[in-house]
Amino acid sequence: MNFEPLPVAGAYLVTPQKRNDERGYFARVFCRDELAAQDLCADYVQANTALSPRAGTLRGLHFQRAPHAEVKLVRCTRGKVFDVVLDLRPDSPTYLRWHGVELSADSAGMLYAPMGTAHGYLTLTDDAEVLYMTSASYAPDAATGVRFDDRAFAIRWPREIVLVSQADRAWPDLQTGRTSGP
């Protein structure tokens, strides 16, 4: 596996090394030892999947508050998404900085989102499916988020957003604490 540091402290693009032959390819997409050798979280307790039938669907930006904060390892298993990690750690040198990567089933790349960051993605194709592992179990009382269109972050989404859940529209702006409405 290759580990490429991203402009958000502690975030990585993790790319499996494909071994190709006449049957296609084989690649290891998780290796506890390789993650640990990079000083990255190697202990995951939950795997989640989400299917979005419509291109332009936005999910996020989500995270869990301490003591249920989590690391995410995210892979697109069908279609293509623009995946974003946003640094919400006030003591981080990249506080409030975001970075987006295109993940696709073809590339098999994964986003490693460290603890203290928010995560979200925009589907670039119809029927996009994402699989992600988390280092902490889902804790409904700790689940929260920030607005995808908050001016404090100025995230540049690569296409029109056509579908966002009411819950994701209701997260407050970071600076004002107000929601923008439906």
Residues acting as catalytic residues:
62, 132
What is the H or E stretch that residue 63 is in?
Answer: strand 57-64
Q: Is the separation of the CB atoms in 46 and 79 below 8 Å?
A: no
Both tokens assigned to 84: 């974003």
Q: Cα separation of 54 and 62, whole Å?
A: 20
Torsion angle, alpha carbons of 64, 67, 74, 23, to 10: -140
Q: Is 70 exposed, middle or buried (0-12, 13-18, 19+ CB in 10 A)?
A: buried
Exposed, middle or buried: residue 117 (CB in 10 Å: 0-12, 13-18, 19+)?
buried
Q: Measure the CA–CA gap between 114 and 72, rounded to whole angstroms.
A: 7
Give me the numbers of helices (H) and strands (E) for the chain, helices first please. 2, 14
The tokens of 119 are what? 């995560």
